[in-house]
Amino acid sequence: MSEAGPVSAHVLLVEDDVALGGALVALLAEAGHEVRWAKSLAEARGANPATAELILLDLGLPDGDGLNLCRELRAAGADAVVVVLTAKSDETAAVRALDGGADDFVTKPFRPAELVARLRAHLRRRPDSDDELRIGLLRIQPARRLVWLGDAAVSLRPKEFELLQALASRAGTVVRRELLIDEVWDEHWSGSTKTLDVHIAALRRKLADAGDRWERIETVRGYGYRFDDSV
């Protein structure tokens, strides 16, 4: 992957651990980000979270499950990158977070430099072209991050959109799982490959909900996925 310059963003940090939160604020500010810090769900909801470009979200908050905030934002159409921070390292926790609308899952303790690099990778994947991609009834506008199936708008989370774009731009060819993970997440991704499967399943479901009568994303077992351009 090519190198990219510094990327800054409006970040909402939701973390009740004062020591860790303070360290993260300093780390993110040093990386060039503008940071708001909320120590509870109530504070996060009052911090205008819909305006954040990136949200670092602890799950075990004193007044509830942090994932509730993520679900609320997704239901409202917010497309901020949401990265969950949690002490839970089992696959079930990761799948639950991703199913709940998160884009990434980072287990505590983590390496600060790796976290900053991972956030940078998420942010620099902003599209810089609005050339519309058309495949049958499917239309994708990269810069506006909009998708239609016929006249129906398809609401996708950031990673779902990036997966669709990665597959549709190579329609008719098989794309390796490793390449999709490199492009949509990070070439140094060390998490479970279940992340990819969860997002593919969500993408298929949303296309079907929008009226797609064909399963456009085909699984090629042992290799990857292919976007069917024959329909």
Give this prediction's pTM: 0.59
Residues 63-83: pLDDT tens digits? 999 999 999 988 877 778 899
**Best CA proximity match to 55, nearest among 10, 108, 106:** 10
Q: Give the residue extent of every domain in the chain.
A: 10-123, 133-227
Mean pLDDT of 11-36: 95
Residue for token pair 């797609």: 212
Q: Is the pLDDT of residue 26 over 90?
A: yes
Distance separating alpha carbons of residues 108 and 23, to the nearest angstrom = 13
Coil, strand, or helix at residue 28? Answer: helix
CATH class label, 10-123: alpha beta
CATH class label, 133-227: mainly alpha
Distance separating alpha carbons of residues 146 and 104, to the nearest angstrom = 21
Q: What are the structure tokens assigned to 108, written together?
A: 């505590």
Residues 142-196: pLDDT tens digits? 877 889 888 788 999 888 999 999 999 888 889 999 889 888 886 556 556 788 8
Same fold, 10-123 and 133-227: no
CB 164 within 8 A of CB 139: no
